[in-house]
Amino acid sequence: MKVYRFITGPDDSSFCHRVTDALNKGWELHGSPTHTFNQAENKLYCGQAVVKTVHGKEYDPSMKLGEQ
């Protein structure tokens, strides 16, 4: 089974830690990171897609993808 996640968050070290944690749990970067500016909050937000192949499981819409 191939699993996809899109990690998002404010452009700060917590976002980088979330992506780093995913990479250390076997996830791989998928494409380039994205950025958007929320003018109302005056904040920059980031996003990064990650994918992972999980052997021995079948996809179920109720599964928590981040725990695979």
pLDDT tens digits for range 3-35: 999 999 999 999 999 999 999 999 999 999 999
Q: Which pLDDT does position 32 carry in this prediction?
A: 96
Checking DSSP bridges between strand 43-53 and strand 34-38, what pairing results, if any?
antiparallel
C-alpha to C-alpha distances, 48 to 7, 39, 67, 68, nearest whole angstrom: 5, 21, 17, 17
Q: Which pLDDT does position 68 carry in this prediction?
A: 86
Amino acid present at 21: D
Q: What does the mean pLDDT of the chain come to?
A: 95
Report yes or no on whether pTM surpasses 0.95. Answer: no
Q: Which pLDDT does position 66 carry in this prediction?
A: 83
Specify which residues 28 forms β-bridges with.
51
Euclidean distance between CA atoms 19 and 17, whole angstroms: 5
Taking a C-beta distance cutoff of 8 angstroms, is the pair 28, 3 a contact?
Answer: no
Average pLDDT over residues 49-59: 94
